[in-house]
Chains A and B, each alone.
Chain A
Amino acid sequence: MMPVTKPLLEIKGLTTQFFIQEGTVTALDKVDLTIYENESVGIVGETGCGKSMTAFSILRLVPHPGKITAGSIKFKGTELTALTADQMRGVRGQRISMIFQDAATALDPVFTVGYQLGEVISLHQNIYDKAALDKKSEDMLKLVKIAAPASVLKQYPHELSGGMKQRVMIAIALSCSPSLLIADEPTTALDVTIQAQILNLLKDLVRTTGSSMMLITHNLGVVAEVCDRICVMYAGRIVEDAETFELFANPKHPYTSGLLSAFPKLGERKEELTVIRGTVPDLMRLAPGCAFVDRCDKAMAVCRKERPNRVEVAPGHYVSCHLWTGGETSD
């Protein structure tokens, strides 16, 4: 459905770079992205495309030696890059929450589930009474459909299965009713049957709590299931974004169509999978033109010289590709 709500998160021109001995790695290169209220947006791309880095940049958790070198991130009107460390801490966990890929390492193994859940709640909501904390924690565990929540509160992370750990993570992330939930590959480490449970859970929760979700994954099947809109990233840039149905039905960027064809689809056995020739470019030495130029079958002369602008090719459907910018054709 077309977003008729207000924009929740507006990212414009975000550039994040890493300064290492061998040179400067441009992990994100002038990224533009908007997430509205009440919607689920999927960020897809392969390893190294910058999707996780986008999330880290939003939360200002970019690891050393990286830095946000340009751009603005506006969350409900507030410029996040301008906040102090203290103010940012107030945002993290409370207004914007994140779920990580590997629940096993994201949870502290020496504290019980109840303690970790309670810690987040008490930090942000200033509730210190143990009974009240326990009650709220238990409510959160019920929300994520964990059976016997009271006993799970007393357990340690290693006593739980992968699926349950992930649910606990989701509970922690949602405990302070954030407006935006960022999920970084939340189901990649889980078995496919548990994955289905967790995805359903996320879908339901987002619907009932009214928050927005930014789902980061490399799995096109997952975003097809869960998301309203999808952004495709490549080499630190967003190459295409559109509503889910529109993207799958009419992919415009050669990378998007290549990705869709390379995915083995259940029930459609092919002789050979389509392959995108070449490899991901070196983020330290990006050419001035389009990052995909060396691997694109439809590359033109202009693609090597100029980086394509983002244009709207259909209502709500944006592409950054010279095929659609009305640039010079042929040669």
Chain B
Amino acid sequence: MSRAISGREARPLTSEVRVGGGQPLLQAINLEKLFPVKKGVFGKTVDHVHAVDGVNLTIFKGETLGLVGESGCGKTTVGRAVLRLTEPTGGKIMFEGKDITHLPQADIRGMRKRMQIVFQDPYSSLDPRMTVEGIVGEGFAIHGPPKGIGDVEFVRREKIHELIEQVGLSHDHLSRLPHEFSGGQKQRIALARALALDPDFIVLDEPTSALDVSVQAQALNLLKRLQEKLGLSFLFISHDLSVIEHMSDRIAVMYLGKVVETAPTREFMGNPLHPYTKALIGSIPIPDPLKRKDRKGIEGEVPSPINPPRGCRFHPRCSVAFNRCGWEGKDLVTHLTEVARVMSPKHAISKHVAGLRADGFVAYVDLHSPESLDTVRKWLETYAAEQRKKSALFDSVVAIDRFAGDREVVVPCKKMVVEVEIEAPGREGKEPPRMKSVRQKTTSMMVAREAAKMIEKTLDMDANLRSHNLILSVKPVQSTVVFKVLGPDSNLEKAVAELDSRLEPMRTRKEPLALAIGRGSIKRTRGPKTGLAVKLRAVEEPQMDDIGNGHQVACRLYDK
């Protein structure tokens, strides 16, 4: 009884009908998850892995949102964060309009009945010592037996039988142990387990990646059927775009912790906009030799999520990047070292240059002696002017000047405690929903991080950029924000004054972040006195822009 080999035309995608209507079932707003990187004997936190860095997602009732990306992009972390299996370090999660981000664990456990997850590896997601009946029925053991008429035990057994049949297994499988089943069957058991509590929403974390093609087909068909029958909503996470295209109503692409493009499936496949999306689609090998072409893939390797590229995270690998994509100091240093070969003995300025280093949107050229300053500056200016036309990197150069190397501005930060009112869902039948007041604590280190971002935005990133400004490399250091300044020493005081005047109105409005930021002071540091700084255009990350048709993309090419 096989189906016809040529598939039928896909039915109209639900979200195309729904654009603009109804309240979303689940929403992730600016979701953030950072993992600390600890080094040294005492385990000091030196840096953060930006696994999920400001992700916005919406899932409506009855639809499947496909989340696609390669390894390290953060999609698995997103899946766990929306269920609060991992605690987000920032942002909000709304479930049916209610904020569940800071719900205490006891309440979250109650919510688990509504949202579930199926894991990727069927071999490790089932307890090897529990029978199938025990595994599928575990939800009842935790939350109480399912409702029904008759003896409690009878109802429970009936429900488990129903679940097991629903996923295509039979009654005599119930007393067996996981290791007696194949991968595909194990996934069915995991699915039955997830369905036991009648959830509305299920996160499917690469549910078929470990399965063979024909088994995968069975599993995907089953998922679709169940979705229609039970009115489920799915967050389908995968690295396989073909599977995602098959299963999803809408698709979101992630790269290095951010969503770069979202669109309804047909729109997505018909009109991919983001260069990364296009490259992704282009690299997938199609099982049809007639469609063979030289697939290039993307140059280079995926960068580490510990220090993601500034500006657009994809720009170092993007074939169509231009000057506003976020070229950084390190890109410039790499170019000067490897392409212009400034450090090689034959080069005109190599005898003057002691070293090259990069920090944020600035490249520093350290010199042996102050006399070389003008020579090197002249060379750089000429070179940059030449390169400007053919290189997006040099096109984004904003200023080349000396800098105050042995002094910097230090801005201290305090910790913030904010009282937030959230609504806690009551326990069914026992308590009505009520407003809870939860204290949200932010450590001084995290405040410093936020402050650094804010200071950079306030002082540095001028939308007009007619006059370049003075700030070089804003950085959070423990619980302070430190930045250097371009030009003569007098600019340091100018910078402190400017920052204060910008923060004043915010402080008057009692904004908690502005209140947690102290007054800047100028400190001496151990830095080289002589050097040049090349400042590149400091850009923010591109925001998601709405293109229409439910299509959103975060790319400077499509900036309004």
Contacts and interface: CB of A to CB of B under 8 A. Distances in A.
B283 A195 contact: yes
B242 A200 contact: no
B315 to A, nearest CB: 16
Interface string A266-297: 11111111111101000000000000000001
Contact of B221 (A163, A193, A273): A273
Contact of A191 (B4, B239, B242): B239
Contacts of A260: 287
A304 interface: no
Contact of A264 (B243, B285, B289): B243
B221 A275 contact: yes
Contacts of B221: 272-273, 275
B245 A269 contact: yes
B298 interface: yes
Contacts of A267: 245, 269, 286
B296 A271 contact: no
Contacts of A263: 213, 217, 242, 287
Interface stretch (A59-67, A91-99, A128-136, A220-228): A220-228
A265 B213 contact: no
B8 A270 contact: yes
A281 to B, nearest CB: 12
A225 B242 contact: no
B287 A199 contact: no
A161 interface: yes
A132 B181 CA distance: 54
B280 A200 contact: no
A123 interface: no
A47 interface: yes
Nearest to B283: A196
Interface residues of B, number: 55
B290 A245 contact: yes
Interface string A26-54: 00000000000000000000110000000
Nearest to B297: A196
Given A163-B301, A193-B298, A264-B220, A244 B289 contact: yes
Given A220-B287, A225-B292, A192 B70 contact: yes
Contacts of A56: none
Interface string B184-216: 100000000000000000000000000011111
Interface in A253-268: 257-268
Contacts of B297: 193-197, 200
Interface in A108-151: none
Nearest to A47: B212
Contacts of B280: 192-193
Nearest to A269: B10
B289 A245 contact: yes
A270 B279 CA distance: 23
Given A192-B280, A275-B214, A265 B3 contact: no
A219 interface: yes
A273 B284 CA distance: 19
B20 interface: no
A223 B292 CA distance: 10
A197 to B, nearest CB: 4
Contacts of B213: 46, 218, 220, 259, 262-263
Contact of B286 (A164, A224, A272): A224
B295 interface: yes
A269 B246 contact: yes
B431 interface: no
Interface string A151-175: 0000000000111100000000000
Contact of A268 (B7, B182, B241, B301): B7
B294 interface: yes
A193 B283 contact: yes
Question: For B279, B283, B288, B292, which residue has the most chain A Cβ atoms within 10 angstroms?
Answer: B288
Contacts of A192: 70, 239-241, 280, 283-284
B1 interface: yes
Question: For A223, A259, A262, which residue has the most chain B Cβ atoms within 10 angstroms?
Answer: A262
Contact of B285 (A218, A219, A276, A297): A219
Contacts of A164: 301
A200 B294 contact: yes
Interface in B273-330: 279-292, 294-298, 301-302
Contacts of A324: none
A219 B295 CA distance: 16
A268 B269 CA distance: 10
B5 A273 contact: no
A46 B214 CA distance: 8
Contacts of A274: 2-5, 7, 217
A40 B117 CA distance: 42
Contact of B296 (A47, A200, A224): A200
A248 B288 contact: yes
Nearest to A49: B212
Interface in B429-482: none
B256 to A, nearest CB: 12
A40 to B, nearest CB: 12
A229 B4 CA distance: 27
A29 B290 CA distance: 33
B215 to A, nearest CB: 8
A44 to B, nearest CB: 10
A225 B214 contact: no
B11 interface: yes
Interface in A193-233: 193-197, 199-200, 218-225
B76 interface: no
A264 B66 CA distance: 15
Given A276-B214, A297-B2, A271 B7 contact: yes
6 contacts: A195-B285, A200-B297, A223-B287, A224-B288, A245-B290, A276-B214
Interface of A: 46-47, 161-164, 191-197, 199-200, 218-225, 244-245, 248, 257-277, 279, 297
Given A192-B239, A275-B214, 16 more contacts: A162-B71, A191-B71, A196-B283, A199-B295, A218-B212, A225-B292, A263-B242, A265-B287, A271-B8, A271-B10, A272-B7, A272-B224, A274-B3, A275-B3, A275-B221, A279-B184
